[in-house]
Amino acid sequence: MSASQRVACEDVVMFVNAAIASTAQREFRDMAGAQRMSLKFLHEYVLGNYRDLYAAALALDINHANASLIVVNLLRTAAAADDGQRRTEGKLIAARLRMLPPQRAYAVFSELRRLGVNNRRTRAIVRDWVASRPDPAFDAVKYRRSMSTAARHAHLRLPDEVGTALFEWRRLKRYSTPILESWRRAHYEERALYDLPYTVAEGLAARHGTDRSRFLAAIAPKLTDHERLRLQSAAARDGVSDVAMDLATVPLTRLALFVLSLPRAERARRHEELSAAMRAAARRAARRQAGTWGRVVAVLDDSYSSAGSGVKRRRPLAVALATHYLLEALATEYAGLWLTHHGDPLFVHPVGPTGLGARILDGLERRPDRLVIVSDGWDNAPPGLAGEVLRVWRTRLDPINATDIVHLNPVYDSDTFDVRRLGPGVATVGVRDAEDVPALVELARFAAGGAEFSELRAHFADRVNGFIGGAP
């Protein structure tokens, strides 16, 4: 591989790592402003130098924040693309918008309006996405301001009552669409609140001065699974039991965040329920790969920095906890080694320095088929020991790579435009949700620097073809 191809491969992998791990929010060691500036520069650099691979990143397991930014940047710079690129980009954008939560997609349209991007293709993309929504009247209530912004910007023709509700809602004394009529009446009548989505009803309930516990009990049937999970603790404090949900259906990383949000006494009281739910979620995430990874050892970071930040509270620790249960499901023989914690992983909490080196030695002594390290990479007890251990292991003790070593890092480092690495020869990839770990391990071979740039392009092409249904 030539020097230019090696640089290109490193650039693209660096960008994918950032697009997976970073949400441009405050981290334990980075302020939000530094994260935003670093991520913006990285997007502009990859867009300008590797436009086709930049667009293809929409087919990878990147997070919603970066997917939204890629969509905006591709539409903003459409004049720089040729006809073939525009066709492929249009299919990728349409497919990715369908995957985004509605509020994210509407935020993309609002940003396009702010930037003054209003060409024919942009209007067609907005029109097709809004037309594909299953219930425009629901959107007109729940995403009222965002939908009206999109409609104005793309000159959309909306169903009569939906358009009236968005722009002249006081004109009609009665709507024939049930949710629009409930929304109209809820401004004056408290009973109508409970026919509306929770996020809409909550604001109107505050306006009516409705008692909080009475409101939660009555609105419970309208709550989404995410809202139920988020409101469980608050509802319990208010004496409302109807909000509780079956944890067996919650995705793995989200469930780990919920578990870590509970006081340790409550984790002990609900231990059997929480443990069973975590293992069930891990089996769902492992799917057909369950029990196929051989002997696996994980080194899991529970140092103080895994507490995250005020806006990403306990996120790094939750990723480590979720990955622990996932690897347990993927492996035929598994051992999870925390830096500090011993015993049941449900009681893990962030404490102490990041002493990765000694724990990596403990893991390698077991001679596993695969060693997985989940950490923010700030090895500081003592500094640099983990990288030196891995270097000696790879060059002196395991030159034939009998043990596959992967470092999964849930934290973006704005100073390096990448996730922090333990050493130059260690395959390091960003991670946001533990559910993506099987796909990320496949990507790790490119991060290690041993794969050709042509292989990386082929990998992206395969993902794009699968993502847009085999279209060229």
Q: What is the pLDDT of residue 238?
A: 66
Q: Is residue 239 situated within a structural domain? A: yes
Number of residues written out for the chain: 472
Boundary of a domain, candidates 250, 278, 305: 250
Q: What is the pLDDT of residue 49?
A: 95
Three-state secondary structure of 352-400: CCCCHHHHHHHHHCCCCCEEEEECCCCCECCECHHHHHHHHHHHHHCCC
Q: Is the pTM of this model over 0.85?
A: yes
Select the more confidently predicted residue: 203 or 4.
203
Looking at the fold, whether 245 and 260 belong to one and the same domain comes out as no
Looking at the fold, whether 196 and 58 belong to one and the same domain comes out as yes
Looking at the fold, whether 230 and 143 belong to one and the same domain comes out as yes
Residue type, 323: T
Residues with Cβ within 8 Å of 211's Cβ and at least 6 positions away in sequence, in order, are: none
Q: Is residue 347 situated within a structural domain? A: yes
Boundary of a domain, candidates 201, 222, 250: 250
Looking at the fold, whether 315 and 225 belong to one and the same domain comes out as no
Looking at the fold, whether 363 and 245 belong to one and the same domain comes out as no
Q: What is the pLDDT of residues 144-187, one digit of tens each?
A: 999 999 999 999 988 888 999 999 877 778 999 999 999 999 99
Mean pLDDT for 386-392 is 95
Q: Is residue 157 situated within a structural domain? A: yes
Structural domains counted in the chain: 2
Looking at the fold, whether 66 and 118 belong to one and the same domain comes out as yes
Looking at the fold, whether 241 and 262 belong to one and the same domain comes out as no
Looking at the fold, whether 327 and 440 belong to one and the same domain comes out as yes
Looking at the fold, whether 298 and 367 belong to one and the same domain comes out as yes
CATH code, domain carrying 400: 3.40.50
Q: Is residue 294 situated within a structural domain? A: yes
How far from chain centre, in Å, is Cα 165? 33
Looking at the fold, whether 215 and 258 belong to one and the same domain comes out as no
Q: Is residue 76 situated within a structural domain? A: yes
Q: What is the pLDDT of residues 219-242, one digit of tens each?
A: 988 888 888 888 877 776 766 766
Mean pLDDT for 253-263 is 95
Looking at the fold, whether 164 and 261 belong to one and the same domain comes out as no
Question: What is the percent of the chain with per-residue pLDDT over 90, rounded to a whole number?
Answer: 81
Nearest to 398 by CA among 429, 360, 432, 436: 360
Asked if pLDDT for residue 470 goes beyond 60, the answer is no
Q: Is residue 223 situated within a structural domain? A: yes
Q: What is the pLDDT of residues 408-439, one digit of tens each?
A: 999 999 999 999 999 888 899 999 999 999 98
Q: What is the pLDDT of residues 56-103, one digit of tens each?
A: 999 999 999 999 999 999 999 999 999 999 999 999 999 999 999 999
Q: What is the pLDDT of residues 334-361, one digit of tens each?
A: 999 999 999 999 999 999 999 999 999 9
Boundary of a domain, candidates 250, 276, 299: 250
Q: What is the pLDDT of residue 89?
A: 96
Residues with Cβ within 8 Å of 405's Cβ and at least 6 positions away in sequence, in order, are: 370, 371, 373, 390, 393, 394, 426, 427
Q: Is residue 466 situated within a structural domain? A: no
Structural domain boundaries enclosing 48: 3-250
Asked if pLDDT for residue 444 goes beyond 80, the answer is yes
Mean pLDDT of the chain: 92
Q: Is residue 86 situated within a structural domain? A: yes
Asked if pLDDT for residue 294 goes beyond 50, the answer is yes
Asked if pLDDT for residue 322 goes beyond 60, the answer is yes
Looking at the fold, whether 317 and 408 belong to one and the same domain comes out as yes
Residues with Cβ within 8 Å of 281's Cβ and at least 6 positions away in sequence, in order, are: 248, 250, 251, 252, 255, 322, 325
Sign of torsion over alpha carbons 80, 81, 83, 87: negative
Backbone angles phi, psi at 115, to 5 degrees: -85, -5
Mean pLDDT for 28-55 is 96
